[in-house]
Structure 1
Amino acid sequence: MKHNNAHLESLEIGGCDSLTFIVKGQLPLSLKYLSVRNCEKLQYLLDDREDASTSSSSVTNKENINHLSTSLLENLNIYNCSSLTCLSTRGQLPDVKCLQICYCSNLKTLSSRGHLPATLENLVIRCCPKLDSIAERFCNNRSIERICIKRCANLRPIPEGLHSLSSLREIYIEDCPSLVFFPEGGLPDAIIRVSISRYKSFPSNLTSLSIEDPDIFTSLIAWGLHKLTSLRELNVIGCPDAISFLQEEMGMLLPTSLIKLTIARFPKLEYLSSRGFQNLFSLEFLWIRDCPWLTSFPEVGLPCSLLQLYADGCPLLKKHCKKDKGKEWSKISNIPCIEVEHKFIYDIEGEE
């Protein structure tokens, strides 16, 4: 394959039931994109053992096993390979920029050496229930910009050194119930967006956080959200039973550092509690979406720092926000920019 396809840049292998491994050194050096899908007997993606070429179920015959480290491969995608347990028999992963692995039910580890490629920029892992580790630590991985891990039930530790990923901008963790803590050092300062569900603890230096969880208020207490003193943006999405935000009986406060707050998909929400907003001295942007029963803002009004208020999918709130007429007008009249149901507040004035 290597010599007969010297200019091959993209290779897709799909539905090859006899394939158990690919000999590492035999992929063309020109290859930039490799996709392996629905190969149910594939055990190792890259078999770099010296005797690997003796198997008739490999892609090619034996040659120098070290060539891939100098190849042009940038993107590696693996999808629905149920027998895959490890990417490389000796633990050396190819120097790719993008690594995506989905629906590999028996995958336990990416690399036996415990390291990811230094070239890696984007890591996506979904639906690998037996995966227990992606690496021992982030070592020389300063190029990573995005990490997305979803539905990996057995994944326990996030590798040490997460805080050293100076290029990391986004991290998404969803439905990984065995993950219970972030490594020491927390997240890098430059991170822009964090989205985490079913997680029990957060690093104190978070600046942006999205939480989607049916038991959101119970989780908020457990996480100690008010202790995230660097948090600037918070998105709280999906709470089917909450009548107020935040619930008075919980005695819960939001971080005083918040600048932007989004509240979305609260189907029974009726009002915003005064206690929940009383210390938000820096809040400038408030977005409220899909709260059909919401009728009132905090009794003491919204923070004086608020510059923009947007409400969408809140039909009962609309009539209460009419200028000089609505019962909530006095609480929001000092906000420079108000938009309700896609209309600026002054355009609602003449509507009945």
Structure 2
Amino acid sequence: MQCFPGGMRLMNLKKLGVRRCPEPVLPLPEEMSHCYTSLERLTLYGCESLKSLPLGLFPKLRCLTIQECIYFETLLIPDGIENQILTTVESLTINCCNNMISFPCGGIPAPQLSYLSVGACKNLKALPDQMHTLLSSLQAFMLWDCPKIESLPEGGLPSKLSHLLISNCKKLAGGRRDWGLQRLPSLTHFALSGESEDVESFPEEGLLPSTLRWLYFGNMPNLKSLNRRGLQILGSLKRMQIWDCPQLKSFPEEGLPTSLFVLILLDCPLLNPRCRREGGEDWHKVAHVPLIVMDGEAIFDQLYLGSMDPLYAYSISAT
């Protein structure tokens, strides 16, 4: 099917999902353009011929998801009405669109956007321009499997950002010292993962802000140590998860932040034995942490509880 049947009455349509439609027609014929006026949620999944999407068609759109549209290239913002559109958009997700090459020139004017996820866009070379001003309400930003992105936009990330995840973006991760995360007063959750061969010590001094409460990092094959000065500033840290770091040998002699409530270690074969209560050389560095989970085995309040799902351990510690 290329468009809606002509007799359908969709004037009050608020939610629309189009799944694996090989040749969707957007925009719809003029006589059906009223279908867009009330639309709040739009999901396009597996629409192979979709190359672009004119955002000016949807005056009330709140949530937009574009996924596995393999020939999708970019969003379109009509000239001259930048200040009149996207004022209602709160969530934007673009995943698995390998032919996407860019965001609209000049950025995305979406002052209410609070959630942005971009993943598995192999040919995307840059993030939206002027994110720090045009996306002033952004609170959560997820970026993964975008190997050609080399840097954050000029001006950095929005000041209200609280959740940041960057995974498998090797070129971008290489310049992490220039991200300016310490200038983000609301950042509380940060995750970094990927096969970054240059990472031997983490987190670098000056990389993370003192407001951080949750730190997740892994898949770092050459990580050998944790940076003492990079950790010392994290006086609000509650949860830390480390995974797939085969060369990580020990924690800093000064130990981990005293605020830490949950420590999860997965696939760290050199480190895990050192954190055992019985005979572990690093036990004195982690003994103050109420909940420790190592490869599914949990120690809670220093009492061994046996096998435990680490995701469950994380959930019961949420604060």
Q: Secondary structure at the match of 2:44?
A: strand
Pairing 1:15-94 to 2, within 5 Å after superposition: 22=3, 26-29=6-9, 68=10, 70-72=11-13, 74-77=15-18, 79=20, 81=22, 86-88=26-28, 94=36
Structure with larger Rg = 1
Pairing 1:96-115 to 2, within 5 Å after superposition: 96-102=39-45, 107-111=50-54, 114-115=56-57
Deviations 1:193-232 (A, max 9, x none): 3202436232232110000123454131242333323211
Q: Secondary structure at the match of 1:114?
A: helix
Alignment partners' CA distance in 1, 2:76 and 2:44: 11
Asked if 2 retains the 8 angstrom alpha-carbon contact of 1:134 and 1:159, the reply is no
Q: In the alignment, which residue of structure 2 is the partner of 1:297?
A: 251
Q: 1:208 aligns with which of 163, 170, 173?
A: 163
Pairing 1:1-352 to 2, within 5 Å after superposition: 13=1, 22=3, 26-29=6-9, 68=10, 70-72=11-13, 74-77=15-18, 79=20, 81=22, 86-88=26-28, 94=36, 95-102=38-45, 107-111=50-54, 114-127=56-69, 129=71, 131-135=73-77, 137=82, 139=84, 144-150=89-95, 151=97, 152-157=100-105, 158-160=107-109, 162-165=110-113, 168=114, 170-174=115-119, 175=121, 176-183=124-131, 184-188=133-137, 191=139, 193-197=140-144, 198=149, 200-201=152-153, 202-212=157-167, 213-215=169-171, 217-246=173-202, 252-323=206-277, 325-345=279-299, 346=302
Asked if 2 retains the 8 angstrom alpha-carbon contact of 1:122 and 1:147, the reply is yes
Asked if 1 retains the 8 angstrom alpha-carbon contact of 2:18 and 2:47, the reply is no
Cα displacement (A) at 1:178: 3.5
Alignment partners' CA distance in 2, 1:130 and 1:123: 12
TM-score after normalising by structure 2: 0.73
Cα displacement (A) at 1:323: 2.4
Alignment partners' CA distance in 1, 2:20 and 2:202: 42
Cα displacement (A) at 1:303: 1.4
Alignment partners' CA distance in 1, 2:104 and 2:201: 32
Which residue identity lines up with residue 268 of structure 2 in the other structure?
C
Is the alpha carbon distance of 1:163 and 1:73 closer, same or farther for their aligned partners in structure 2, counting shifts above 3 Å? closer
Q: Secondary structure at the match of 1:316?
A: coil
Is the alpha carbon distance of 1:348 and 1:316 closer, same or farther for their aligned partners in structure 2, counting shifts above 3 Å? farther
Q: Which deviates more, 116-125 or 230-239?
A: 116-125
Which residue identity lines up with residue 241 of structure 1 in the other structure?
E
State, as a whole percentage, how many aligned pairs show the same letter: 24
Is the alpha carbon distance of 1:138 and 1:258 closer, same or farther for their aligned partners in structure 2, counting shifts above 3 Å? farther
Asked if 2 retains the 8 angstrom alpha-carbon contact of 1:98 and 1:120, the reply is yes
Alignment partners' CA distance in 1, 2:90 and 2:171: 30
Asked if 2 retains the 8 angstrom alpha-carbon contact of 1:149 and 1:173, the reply is yes
Aligned alpha-carbon RMSD (Å): 3.4
Cα displacement (A) at 1:123: 2.9
Q: Secondary structure at the match of 2:293?
A: strand
Alignment partners' CA distance in 2, 1:302 and 1:234: 17
Could you tell me which runs of 5 or more consecutive residues in structure 2 were left unpaired when the two chains were aligned: 307-319
Asked if 2 retains the 8 angstrom alpha-carbon contact of 1:104 and 1:127, the reply is yes
Is the alpha carbon distance of 1:140 and 1:243 closer, same or farther for their aligned partners in structure 2, counting shifts above 3 Å? closer
Q: In the alignment, which residue of structure 1 is the partner of 2:315?
A: none
Alignment partners' CA distance in 2, 1:327 and 1:143: 55
Is the alpha carbon distance of 1:208 and 1:135 closer, same or farther for their aligned partners in structure 2, counting shifts above 3 Å? same
Alignment partners' CA distance in 2, 1:263 and 1:23: 46
Could you tell me which runs of 5 or more consecutive residues in structure 1 were left unpaired when the two chains were aligned: 1-12, 14-20, 30-67
